[in-house]
């Protein structure tokens, strides 16, 4: 690192959490995928049937497989394929966690504008993650 490239306190805090979350997420998807491939846990969708479903539009796929969108997968973690959503959710969720500790740092620096930007970003990402926003399908 050159003397000019000084990462700020909030930047380092963000990076530290991101680094941990990213590594944990990648490890988790790898482990859960191996569980899925070995058949240690029976999948919700038999692997032999996957080609029939992966060619369908998502709306038809959900209807045909009886999978409910949103966070319903949390109740199906005993299935080998659904278990993979743990790692996927961690990868998709780590950014939200990264934002939380930087708000107090901005406030400590009396940088209210960036504290508000970070807070709104958390709301936006949480809204996206909440499952409230449903697409009309096609």
Partner 1 sequence: MSNRLLKAAAFAVVVLMVLFAAVTVFASGGGEATAPQSVVPESSLPWWAWPAILFVVCFVMGIVAVLGGVGGGVLFVPIVGGFFPFHLDFVRGAGLLVALSGALAAGPGLLKKGMADLRLALPVALIASACAIVGAMIGLALPTNVVQISLGATILGIVAIMLMAKKSEYPEVPKADALSSALQIHGIYHEASSGQDVAWKIHRTPQGLATFVLIGVMAGMFGLGAGWANVPVLNLMMGAPLKVSVATSKFLLSITDTSAAWIYVNNGAVLPMMVVPSIIGIMLGSIVGVRILAKTKPAAVRYIVIVMLLFAGSRALLKGLKIWN
Burial of 33 by CB count in 10 Å (0-12 exposed, 13-18 middle, 19+ buried)?
Answer: middle
The smaller minimum CB distance to partner 1, of residues 30 and 108, is found at 30
Smallest distance, partner 1 to C-beta of residue 56, A: 6
Smallest distance, partner 1 to C-beta of residue 87, A: 8
Smallest distance, partner 1 to C-beta of residue 11, A: 5
Residue 31's Cα: distance from chain center in Å? 16
Helix, strand, coil shares of the chain, percent, nearest 5, are 70, 0, 30
The smaller minimum CB distance to partner 1, of residues 4 and 75, is found at 4
């Amino acid at each position: 690192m050159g003397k000019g490239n000084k990462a700020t306190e909030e930047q380092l805090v963000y990076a530290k959490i991101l680094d941990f979350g990213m590594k944990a997420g990648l490890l988790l998807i790898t482990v859960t995928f191996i569980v899925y491939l070995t058949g240690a846990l029976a999948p919700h969708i038999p692997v032999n049937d996957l080609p029939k479903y992966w060619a369908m539009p998502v709306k038809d796929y959900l209807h045909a497989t009886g999978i409910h969108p949103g966070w319903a997968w949390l109740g199906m973690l005993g299935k080998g394929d659904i278990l993979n959503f743990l790692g996927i959710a961690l990868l998709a969720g780590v950014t939200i966690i990264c934002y939380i500790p930087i708000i107090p740092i901005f406030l400590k620096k009396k940088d209210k504008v960036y504290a508000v930007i970070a807070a709104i970003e958390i709301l936006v990402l949480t809204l996206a993650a909440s499952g409230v926003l449903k697409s009309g399908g096609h």
